[in-house]
A and B are shown apart, each in its own frame.
Chain A
Amino acid sequence: MNIKEIKELIEAVSQNGITDLEIERSGVKVRIRKEGPPVVVSPAPASPTYAYSTGYPPATLSSEAATGGSPSTSRPHPKEEENLFVVRSPIVGTFYRAPNPETEPFVKVGDTVEHGRVLCIIEAMKLMNEIEAEASGEIIGIYVENGEPVEFGQALFGIRPAGGKV
């Protein structure tokens, strides 16, 4: 194995999303490893109503959130709960849990919030939009990660309303 072949292997690894490659040939063993966040390939979301190719549905932001993009961070999903009020994004943008990177998040799971309390910021076109709770109760789920893009209607927070009724 000469330098040219090793260089081509390096290029193949860096361009194809491979993180670890080991080759042995004529007594020479080469291992190439790429540092960086682990790439996890998640299966295409199962969709019982459509019997088409696995490419469908396309990567809509909320469908990735629903299946949990990577197993290493468990992403909660609004479960079918009778008394769950789901706060959904009214706009397209980027979700932030805190007013700025240095401060604490607006809310965390377990917090009790009242109607009108600011839960998060969604940034769209450089404008910071405060998203308010439309129900009072306990935050039982946060469905998006800090800095993630969100689409219109995407589930953000789950609130179990005070008094048990939505």
Chain B
Amino acid sequence: MEAWNLDGMGRRAARLSTAPRFHPAVLVFVARLRRLSSLQPMFKKILVANRGEIALRVICACKELGIKTVAIFSDADRNSLHVRFADEAVCIGPSKSVDSYLKIPAVISAAEITNVDAVHPGYGFLSENAYFAEVCEACHIKFIGPPANVIRLMGDKAKAIAAMAKTGLPVLPGSNGVVGTAEEAQRVAADIGFPVIVKASAGGGGRGMRIVRSSDDLAKALATAQHEAEQAFGLSDVYIERYVERPRHIEFQVMGDNYGRVIHFGERECSIQRRHQKLLEESPSVALTAESRSRIGERVEAALSSIGYSNAGTVEFLMDDQGKFYFMEMNTRIQVEHPVTEMVTGVDLVKLQILIAGGSRLRFEDHLKPRGHAVECRINAEDPFTHVPSPGKITSFNVPGGIGVRVDTAAHTECVISPHYDSLIAKLIAHANTRPEAIRKMERALEMFVIEGIKTTIPLHQKIMRDPDFAAGRFDTKFMERYQR
């Protein structure tokens, strides 16, 4: 009787089974009805394999779905909000990530002793670790994300580009695969023209890249890049693409169910970056028209559907000054900046991840048109202009409110921002009917966001909001150079 004690359908089945003998066909009928109910989460308990604001975000989604949560924490995070708000919590190791949040046996062991049905990996840490996804499945714990083979494919940047090129997505002219020798490199470069960029296959997110402007420098750059890639990522594979000088970084949010359907939820503009780290994101992008959004979105859906993609993902593109799009890489997880998409589409993406992992079907009939405009500022614990990290205790913390203002954070007064983990304190999101209104609202919210005791990037964001080029939508990934000292 315990096995059926899940939901409304389950309870009815239990009552049937205590009654005098029923024909097996009736019980089978009841079981099938339960599988067809599309919005029933099938998990009773989920372990959140992360920390900080994203762990709290996942816990929020679980609470709203009526799913119990297990938090894992390191020594340093013992008093964190994600630990406090979970139903159960397990200490899994000392403060260093490699001994705790990245330690697969510790995470899996915690999942086993708390008897969870599924694990949500958040972003970072083990979220794009295909081996972790496989271990979960082997232990009969559902990994909330795409299948392990797809994670593995997209994790190898050269293979991902080759695979996406095969499906017809536009990619930058380049080697379309791994380059081994200097001769190969010269051939590719001669084909596509300088400047080119040499990138590590196991890199991504801006790491392991080298720009080469002439063929004299190419052989040496290739060797150095291969060596650095081996050291940093354990894999010396590199690939080459044409280097775009002043691109815009545009990414598409996608979601696939387990039945072959993939849909997109529009784009995010993420060109405001410093050393390839995003500072600020918005949706929609001023650089796209409804037509281009629809055209690219459909191609992305078809491409991902053809490789069996499921659950959340983000497809990253570079847009050159001709308005041409080129596939860069794909992140097979929920992203930091997912809130801007949630605000303009009205869809809770994390809940959707959980429902899809539990077997629900995507039921959106049209590709949701963006409503209004949303901007997100990443508030980090660092000096706003030198970017030197500023860990320490927050002595005063007051979050702005009001219509159209959202704050995703695990920080609070008296909390300690630890040097062991990333410096993100909070994500501040403003949503309004138009882009100028959203910027104005963000300015207001930044002014009223009180964080004392440590340095934060709030003053930098305030500067960006007042920048005339930003207000006009005139920017690319080189925008932040104007604030470099």
Contacts and interface: CB of A to CB of B under 8 A. Distances in A.
A58 B83 contact: yes
B15 A60 contact: no
Interface in A32-86: 56-62
Central interface residue in A56, A60, A91, A150, by most chain B CB within 10 Å: A60
Given A14-B1, A58-B71, A153-B75, A92 B83 contact: no
B83 A154 contact: no
A45 B233 CA distance: 45
A28 interface: no
Given A91-B105, A92-B109, A60 B93 contact: no
Given A11-B15, A58-B83, A93-B113, A151 B105 contact: no
Contacts of B71: 58
Interface stretch (B84-92, B146-154, B205-213, B341-349): B84-92
Bin chain B's interface residue count.
20 to 34
Contact of B88 (A14, A58, A124, A125): A58
A59 B87 contact: yes
A58 B71 CA distance: 9
A15 interface: yes
Interface in A82-129: 91-94, 124-125
A94 B85 CA distance: 24
Given A14-B1, A124-B109, A152 B93 contact: yes
B108 interface: yes
A3 B473 CA distance: 73
17 contacts: A7-B18, A11-B14, A15-B5, A57-B89, A58-B71, A58-B88, A60-B88, A61-B113, A91-B106, A92-B92, A92-B93, A93-B113, A124-B105, A125-B109, A150-B113, A152-B75, A152-B93
Contacts of A91: 105-106, 109
A120 B2 CA distance: 33
Contacts of B18: 7
B110 A151 contact: yes
A5 to B, nearest CB: 14
B114 interface: yes
B106 A58 contact: no
A140 to B, nearest CB: 24
B447 interface: no
B184 interface: no
A125 B112 contact: yes
Central interface residue in B89, B100, B113, by most chain A CB within 10 Å: B113
B139 interface: yes
Contacts of A150: 113
Contacts of B109: 91-93, 124-125
B332 to A, nearest CB: 24
Contacts of B114: 149
